[in-house]
Amino acid sequence: MQTAIIGTGKIGEAIAKKLIKAGHSVLLTNNKGAESLKDKAASLGNLAIPADISEVNQAEVLFLTVRWSHLQQVAADVPNLEGKILVDVTNPILDDMSFDDLKGKAASEIVQELFPKARVVKTLNHYFLKWIDEDPKVDNGKRIAFVSGDDTEAKNTVTNLLNEFGFKSIDLGNLAAGSKLQQAGGSLAALNIVSYPA
């Protein structure tokens, strides 16, 4: 599957590694442009392709891994994402580390408003970087990945990817209710949850 990372920083690179390990091609983007990502792409192998933000709509599934303060700019820069699956891994944390005031909305509802033609699915944001980066196999168990979204087919596609990565996926329902539990400040945030066989 052709995938893309919008924002190949710490989280974006960790997810790119997992996509590549599962055999998917990944377009890597950042704010500085494709040229600045050549060395990083070379270190990740030949499934990693440095790209400009204008090229991301070549991908079917796009991971959104930019800081909350950069979302508006990304929404302005990114081409039309009609029908694309946009996997929201962001948290509504401002640059001074305070939580943004979302006025009762879920953070992913705001992401959906910024990218109205994409099919937004929330996942992995409730973990710290190390738990996203690590192998989700823990002893004889699997780390849990929560998934929320309003589009069932998009959610299934993301669930399949997470299962390929080695997570056990749990569907939390729609963006309005489910993703609120996942986001920073939500009741599932920062919990390291592993499912063990009975």
Ligand X SMILES: NC(=O)c1ccc[n+]([C@@H]2O[C@H](COP(=O)([O-])OP(=O)(O)OC[C@H]3O[C@@H](n4cnc5c(N)ncnc54)[C@H](OP(=O)(O)O)[C@@H]3O)[C@@H](O)[C@H]2O)c1
Residue ranges that bind ligand X, judged by CB under 6 A: 6-12, 29-32, 53, 65-68, 70, 73-74, 77, 89-91, 93, 125, 127-129
Q: For ligand X, which residue has the nearest CB?
A: 9
In whole angstroms, give the CA distance from residue 42 to residue 20. 12
In whole angstroms, give the CA distance from residue 56 to residue 63. 10
Element housing 60 (H / E): none
Residue showing tokens 């996997």: 87
Residue 73 vs 197, nearer CB to ligand X? 73
DSSP type of residue 186: S
Assess contact for 69 and 9: CB atoms under 8 A.
no
CB of 181 to ligand X, least distance (A): 15
Residue 101 vs 140, nearer CB to ligand X? 101
DSSP type of residue 116: T
Residue 33 vs 83, nearer CB to ligand X? 33
CB of 4 to ligand X, least distance (A): 10
CB of 190 to ligand X, least distance (A): 9
CB of 90 to ligand X, least distance (A): 3
Residue 57 vs 91, nearer CB to ligand X? 91
DSSP type of residue 67: -
CB of 64 to ligand X, least distance (A): 8
* Helical H segments across 79-174, by residue range: 107-114, 129-133, 152-165
The contacts of residue 181 (CB under 8 Å, 6+ apart) are 146, 148, 172, 187, 188
Residue 29 vs 57, nearer CB to ligand X? 29
Q: How far is C-alpha 151 from the geometric centre of its chain's CA atoms?
A: 16
